[in-house]
Each structure stands twice: as C-alpha cells, then as structure tokens.
Structure 1
Amino acid sequence: MKRLTKTFVLAALLHAGLACAAVAVAPSDKHLLYTGRIDFAQPDAPVITWPNTAIAGNFTGTSLSVTLDDEKGKNYFNVFIDGDTASPLIIEAAQGSKKYDVIAGLAPGKHSFLITKRTEGEEGATVFRGLELADGGQMLAPPARPKRRIEFFGDSITSGMGDEAPMNGRDDVGRDKNSYLSYAGITARALNAELHQTSQSGIGVMISWFPFTMPDFYDQLSAVGNNDTRWDFAHWTPDVVVVNLLQNDRWLIGDRHQLQPEPDDAGRIAAYETFVKRIRQLYPKAYIVCALGSMDATKPGSQWPGYIKSAVEDMRKGGDQRIDTVFFPFTGYGQHPRLKHQRDNAEILTAFIKKKMNW
C-alpha cells in the first residue's frame, strides 16, 4: 500500500509538471508580424541577417522566452515589452542554438513584444527558432502593419554603428551598434512607416573597405557578405527610398586614393547616378531622397554633395521629378554619429519627407 501511494504521488507530480509546461510558439505562427528581408525558405527556421529586421506580436501570459540559433555569436537583439522602447532587454546571442528567458513576472493579461536586430550582416546570420510563453499563455492577433513603406540604402551611418558608444570612446564595439536608434529607424517610426534597412558598415558605391560595393549587395536576400541570394523586389515596394552613400568612397578615394585608375568627377557622378537609376527601375513610383552625411563627406568645401546634386539634376532633366537631395550637416565630430546626431539627422529627414509626401 505504501508503494502504491508513492507511485500515485509521483504520477500526480509528473501530471502537474506537464500541466505547467511552457507554451511553444512556432516561427510560422500566423500571429507573428515580421518586417524586413527575411529568408523564409524554411518557414519554421526563418533566417534574419539585415539590421533592424523585426518580429512583433501580442500575447497573454506572465513570461516570454526567445530561441535563436546564431551563426557567429556576435549578434545583438533588442526586445521591447509592452511598448517600452526606452528600456530594451538586450540579447547577446551566443553561437549556436539557445533559449533566452527574456522576461518573467508579467501581470496576467495582454502584452506585446518587439524584437529587432541591432547588428548587421557582418555579424552573421541568425535563425529564429520560436518563442515560449508561460503556461496558459497564447498568441493574440498581431499588430497592424503600417501602410506607409520606406527603404534605406546606406552604410555605417544608416546601420547605427557606434551610436550608443560614449562620445569619447571607441565606436566599433558590437554592443554599441543599435540600428533601431539610427536616423533610419527613428525616421521610419516618426512617419509610421514600415522599414527595410538595406545597409552595411564600410560599404560604398565605387569602393568599400572590403571587396564588394552596394551595387553588388543591394539585391541580396542575405546580408552576410557578397553572396548569390536574391531578394524579390516585387515582394515589397516602398513609397520612399533614401540613399545615403559615398562617405566610404570619400575616404577611400578622396583621402587614400585606393581605387585605381582613380575616377574623375564625371566618373564619380556617373557611378552614383547608375546606382540610383537602378533603384528607380525597381521602384518607378517611389520618391527617392539622395542623402549624405552627417560625417565629413558633408564638411564645408567637400566636393561629394556636389556629385550627388549633379546626378540628381541629370535625372531630373531626363524626366524624373520624384527625386531630391538632403544633406545632413557635418558637426565636426570625427567619429560615427552618436544618438544625438542620429536624432538630429532624423528630425531633418522626417520634416523633409512629411512635406514632400504630404504625410
């Protein structure tokens, strides 16, 4: 009789354990809202590479866990709970597959989450393996997808390299890179626009700090280096496109003369115009903003804003009336833009786009 009682108690405990099991949410769950260029070749193993790629959802339950399978162990992610964008929970992804217990002890009832990739393709790919909710938790209808759309093609300024670093500190530390707080992310949120951020630190139009340029890179599904993946541009079409490139060209051509034979002024204008015309072919109805700054490519006396102006004027003469320029002033700060600079740039760009698009 004693033995039977122990068996009964053990069975009851096992049953209670099963009853308290976490609720798994598969990556293919219809209640998840994805934003960005994401590889869905395997619906339950989507691959995230681009900065500011996002996953959002609403749920009930008192806890949230996230499982990521990271390629290099160098990526960082923001997790915002219940719209508290001022206090992100930061995931420092370890290499391989790992579950991250993001938050516990939430009050019963409805909650929301937003996951964003802080880092870039250079930190490697991350496979999203799903979520876990507390016992009894469930996914709710997803957030509404914004009707407006904006895409940025840019370099480290757009990616947010070093934007959270100290003003007098290094700006190449992975943890201090936060694409969510780049001028691109801030502008998109101010305009209530869905964002695609096609950017890579160090990239240029004619030359980069590595052996590929934006004309090689802009059409990829995966942001991990120069590869043969292809993004389907028919899948997502922006209303506004912002191109902020040529800062790295200025350094590598203007200062270091590393591109030989070195292109003259006409060659620099032509290279930039060729890329922007390709964007126009892909997005015939979009309003294109050719931007530059706020690093030293826009310092007083710089020739590089003039190259952009010339390319845009030529395209206007050719009949393109939905294109313009915006230049973010150089503040004299010698490193990557910090949060203050990013906010200032976003304020300029947001006001410009609101006026041009009547938003």
Structure 2
Amino acid sequence: MKNLRWRKMWGLIATTVLGMGASLIEPASALDCHHSTCSPDSPPPEQISTVGDTCTAAYRVSGSWDGGFQSEVVVTNDAGTPLNGWKVTLNLPTGAKISSLWNGVNSGTSGTVTVTNAAYNGTIGAGRSTAFGFTGTGNGTGATVSCSTGSTPPTGNVPAQAHTVGRIKDQGTSVQYTWPGVSFEGRFRGTGVGIVLNDAANDYDVQIDNAAPTTLRTPGNTTHWVSNLSNGEHTVRVAKRTESPWQAGEFGGFVAASGGGILAKPAARTRQIEFIGDSWTAGYGNMSTSRDCAGSGGINPNSNADQTFGALAARGLNADYQITAWSGMGVVRNYNGGNAGTDFRTYYDRTLQAVDAAVWQRPSSWKPQVVVVGLGINDFSTALNPGEPWADAAALAAGYRDAYLGFLDKLRGRYGSDTHIVLTYPTLSNTTAMADSVQQIVQRRNSQGDTRVKALHYDNAALGLDLLGCDWHPSLHDHRLLADTLRSFIGTLPVKW
C-alpha cells in the first residue's frame, strides 16, 4: 500500500530523549545551581504570599546567567495538621519562560503558571516545608507566588491510577509508550481534572463522561486542564491518536482540581482483543476525506487510531484492546522493499518499538480471547526491486508463508491454544499472492489441528470501501464498515468471553 510518510522515515537515525522523568522530577540536591555559568549565590526571597493561614509560598532566584536564570519556590505548611496536596500560582515577569521544572508538575511555561505537587511531596507535615525548582529563559526577578491547598497530586503509580491495556514502560512517576492507540481511563471527583503529558510528537483525544472527545495537538510538556465541570464523579479517557515508533510519548497521570480527588480506576473489561498489523490497523490517514493530505496538514493530523476498525469493533463488543501496528511494515518485506533486513517481526516483541529494544513483559492480566492479524499488504503491494533477496514473486510468497507460520507459533506460545486468531486480508489490485498465501496458511494450521485460526477477506468492492484516506488508505467511512464486518465475523466464532 502506498505509504509516503514511512518511506521517508526508513533512513532516519533516531535519537530520543525520554524527558519527563528527567525534566519534571529531580532530587532535592538539584535545587543547587544547574547551569555551568550561573552564580551560586542565593539572594533573599523576593516575594512571599500566604493564602489563608495554612499554606505559604516563598520565591527566590537562586542563580542567573546571560539570558537565563534558576529559581526555587519553598512551600510551607503553616497549619497544625498535615497538608495533603498543594498548588502554587506563579506569575512570571514579561519575557520569562520556564525551560525545565522539577519536584512539581507545571501547567504552562510563561505568564501565569500553576504548579501542583509531584506524587511524592504532596503531603507536608505541620510546620514543615517542601520545594520545587526550575530553570528559565529571560529574567526571573520580580516573579510573584501564591499558594493554595487541596490539589490532589498524581498517585506516583500511573498503572494503579489509570486503566490501560496498551504496551507501556513504567517509569515510576510516569509511563512511556510508542504504539498507536494506547489509552488511559480514570475516575475523579470534583469540577476538573488535569492530564499530565510530555509529548511533542503525538496527538491525543480527551473524553469526559463519554462525551464527544476533544483533540490535543502535540501538547508538549504540560498539564492539560479540563475545568468547569459539575461537581461530582466523572470519568476521563485519554487516547493516543498517532504513530510515533521513533519517539516515546509520556503520561504522568491525572490530577484533580482543588477540592476534588482522584478515584479508583475503572475495572478492566473481561473481553480482550489484540490487533496486529500495518497502516490499515494503525489508522494511517483515516480521518482525511482526500487521498492527498498535503493540503490538510499531512499524515498525523489526519490519523486517529482511536477511530480504526479495531478500536470501533472492540468498543462495540465492550472489549479491552491493544493495537500493535506499524505503517509500512510487512511480515518479511516492508513497503517497496524499504528498510531491508528488518520487518514487523523485528519490533513486535518490544515495549517501545524503535526507541528501546527491551522486550515487552506481558502482564498476567493480558490474555486476549481474540487476536486479529492484518499483515501482508506491504509485502505484496509493490513489485520486487533489483537486489532484493527473493528471486521472484513465488519465492517472496513462500518466504511470507514460512515467516507467518512462525509468527503464529509465537502467538500460540504467548496466548495459548484457546485464543482465536483471525488473519485478515483486503483485495489487492495487482496480485492475489496475499490472499492465496493467507488461505494456505490457515489450511495448514487447521490440518495440524489448530482449528482456532481463521481467515477473513475484506472485499473492497463488496463492502463499498472508498479508500479516501491519505495515500489511498481506508477512510473513517471504511473503518466503520470494516469494524461491522469484523464484529460480525467474531460473532460467528465460539469465543469463550
């Protein structure tokens, strides 16, 4: 399948800095001067502001250099009982901007900035203090601060706070991820919720109480607030829309607005489905209404893994799901022979795709009753190029079948004999090699006694697919049709939900 975006990416040499753990939280000793040329002298506090009689914030510039500065804010509990959660409102001078902040979670970087406590320093004993610090550009002299209490911090254990079944790397106070469609579901009480993110590459959908989602475009390092809700219990769901195999996104949990609280996470669903595939499964360009997306922002703004056939079918079946897909990848051959020597199988076992080669450790709670595999479009949609390792199309098909059978062995070893595996394939205009090969693979598995392997053909013409997504990919209209087809097919299987 034509895939312009990933064809350009094969030559990338990616260096990724996984930043939230380093930029948001540093040890207390980091309050000393960070910059190699700054002055370590500590001037007296410039501004102290007290809210009520319980919480005091004191601000000082701890170092400065040409074009930048470092500051510290000390938060003191003036009450006679422990303080549980704090929020500092920081008014920066004109032209000043936060570059990096530790021991707190900031919303915004210039002007009026709110900083809430980190997971580990929200509780302050009577008469005790804690502090956060930051570096910035411009001049920090003249900033003012005020402090309020009752802001509920992140729990410090995101998997315990938010329900997710996507592949994540637990960083302690945050989690990282690269695969598309990773989502986080939480519950909170109050009038608002903050979503802690550190991601300059991906787009997200945010949904409150199952209402229509709003989209965050490459939010960066921030706490995104949803406010002015009715005072009560609410649900929040955050879903990663886009692909980012070369750069990890990071989620630092939910933060309740002042006076509210984070509640126990939603229960896991008993039904589980895993979707494995390429650009069709990932939702490449599926929100576009034109095959040429250059005029509408390119691929990422027009892609949404949360509106793919897999996500739609799973929600229709009330199932938890995991999307393990990478555009342009094939079983043995990638689009147009690109990135020779690697294929989807190279990365399938990884937690963070191309960022980190560490093997994903499957949680004991994740054992899908159905696995849907859609791999092969990139193997067969373009003709072989000179120098590729297959003598002809027949040799490519034979290699594809052998590798696919080995991949099914891996899935069987991981999930057991009870899991139903559905191999899907669309109509390719240039060849029947994919269709023929998938049918042969299923026949062979069935003849060996593995009767829970089935094939599902997506007949483009019969289904009425318009392929109006970017670069001739399925559109949202198509994904809805594919979801209905898949959901109906799963309904015919003797699945033990």
TM-score relative to the length of structure 1: 0.86
Q: Does 1:290 align with 2:423?
A: yes
* Per-residue deviation, residues 227-250 of structure 1 (Å, max 9, x unmatched): 421012463221111110000111
* Per-residue deviation, residues 108-166 of structure 1 (Å, max 9, x unmatched): 11111001111123362112123222111112232121001111110011011111112
Residue 312 to residue 199, structure 1, CA distance change in 2 (3 Å) = same
Query: Structure 1 unaligned runs (5+)?
Result: 1-8
Alignment-derived partner of residue 260 in structure 1:
389
370, 373, 393: which one pairs with 1:240? 370
475, 483, 493: which one pairs with 1:346? 483
Asked if structure 1 preserves the Cα contact closer than 8 Å seen for 2:275 and 2:325, the reply is yes
Q: How does 1:84-103 map to 2 (within 5 A)?
A: 84=211, 87-95=212-220, 97-101=221-225, 103=226
Query: Structure 2 unaligned runs (5+)?
Result: 1-47, 56-145
286, 299, 307: which one pairs with 1:163? 286
Counterparts of 1:257 and 1:319 in 2: how far apart (Å)?
A: 40
Counterparts of 1:353 and 1:314 in 2: how far apart (Å)?
A: 21
Counterparts of 2:386 and 2:482 in 1: how far apart (Å)?
A: 29
394, 397, 402: which one pairs with 1:270? 402
Residue 351 to residue 234, structure 1, CA distance change in 2 (3 Å) = same
Residue 313 to residue 132, structure 1, CA distance change in 2 (3 Å) = same
Q: How does 1:24-39 map to 2 (within 5 A)?
A: 24-28=153-157, 30-39=160-169
Alignment-derived partner of residue 3 in structure 1:
none
Look at both structures and tell me which one has the larger radius of gyration over its CA atoms.
2
Ranked by relative contact order (alpha carbons within 8 Å, sequence separation 6 or more), the top structure is: 1
Asked if structure 2 preserves the Cα contact closer than 8 Å seen for 1:150 and 1:188, the reply is yes
The alpha carbon displacement at 1:48 in A equals 2.0
Asked if structure 2 preserves the Cα contact closer than 8 Å seen for 1:121 and 1:224, the reply is no
Alignment-derived partner of residue 179 in structure 2:
50
TM-score relative to the length of structure 2: 0.63
Alignment-derived partner of residue 317 in structure 1:
447
Asked if structure 1 preserves the Cα contact closer than 8 Å seen for 2:202 and 2:244, the reply is no
Alignment-derived partner of residue 306 in structure 2:
180
Asked if structure 1 preserves the Cα contact closer than 8 Å seen for 2:50 and 2:147, the reply is no
209, 216, 226: which one pairs with 1:82? 209
Q: Does 1:250 align with 2:380?
A: yes
Counterparts of 1:10 and 1:175 in 2: how far apart (Å)?
A: 43
Greater share of strand: 2
Alignment-derived partner of residue 110 in structure 1:
233
327, 336, 349: which one pairs with 2:473? 336
The alpha carbon displacement at 1:327 in A equals 1.2
Counterparts of 2:421 and 2:50 in 1: how far apart (Å)?
A: 66
The alpha carbon displacement at 1:283 in A equals 2.0
The alpha carbon displacement at 1:316 in A equals 1.0
Alignment-derived partner of residue 327 in structure 2:
201
Counterparts of 1:185 and 1:123 in 2: how far apart (Å)?
A: 23
Greater share of helix: 1
SS in 2 for 1:167: coil
* Per-residue deviation, residues 323-350 of structure 1 (Å, max 9, x unmatched): 1000112246371111010011111110
The alpha carbon displacement at 1:27 in A equals 4.5
- Could you say what the CA RMSD is over the residues aligned between the two structures, in angstroms? 2.4
The alpha carbon displacement at 1:10 in A equals 6.0
Counterparts of 1:64 and 1:155 in 2: how far apart (Å)?
A: 34
Kindly provide the amino acid, as one letter, of the partner of residue 319 in structure 2.
A
Counterparts of 1:121 and 1:12 in 2: how far apart (Å)?
A: 43
Residue 118 to residue 169, structure 1, CA distance change in 2 (3 Å) = same
Alignment-derived partner of residue 6 in structure 1:
none
After the TM superposition, which of the residue ranges 48-57 and 154-163 deviates more from structure 2? 48-57
Asked if structure 1 preserves the Cα contact closer than 8 Å seen for 2:203 and 2:216, the reply is yes
Counterparts of 2:445 and 2:367 in 1: how far apart (Å)?
A: 21
SS in 1 for 2:493: helix
The alpha carbon displacement at 1:66 in A equals 1.4
SS in 2 for 1:35: coil
Counting matched residue pairs gives: 339
Asked if structure 1 preserves the Cα contact closer than 8 Å seen for 2:240 and 2:305, the reply is yes
The alpha carbon displacement at 1:168 in A equals 4.4
After the TM superposition, which of the residue ranges 107-116 and 122-131 deviates more from structure 2? 122-131
Alignment-derived partner of residue 113 in structure 2:
none
Counterparts of 1:306 and 1:12 in 2: how far apart (Å)?
A: 72
SS in 2 for 1:277: helix
Alignment-derived partner of residue 279 in structure 1:
411
Counterparts of 1:317 and 1:132 in 2: how far apart (Å)?
A: 54
* Per-residue deviation, residues 227-279 of structure 1 (Å, max 9, x unmatched): 42101246322111111000011124x46567323424433322222222222
Residue 14 to residue 352, structure 1, CA distance change in 2 (3 Å) = same
Asked if structure 2 preserves the Cα contact closer than 8 Å seen for 1:69 and 1:127, the reply is yes
187, 191, 207: which one pairs with 2:317? 191
Residue 308 to residue 18, structure 1, CA distance change in 2 (3 Å) = same
Asked if structure 1 preserves the Cα contact closer than 8 Å seen for 2:466 and 2:475, the reply is no
Kindly provide the amino acid, as one letter, of the partner of residue 279 in structure 2.
S
SS in 2 for 1:33: coil
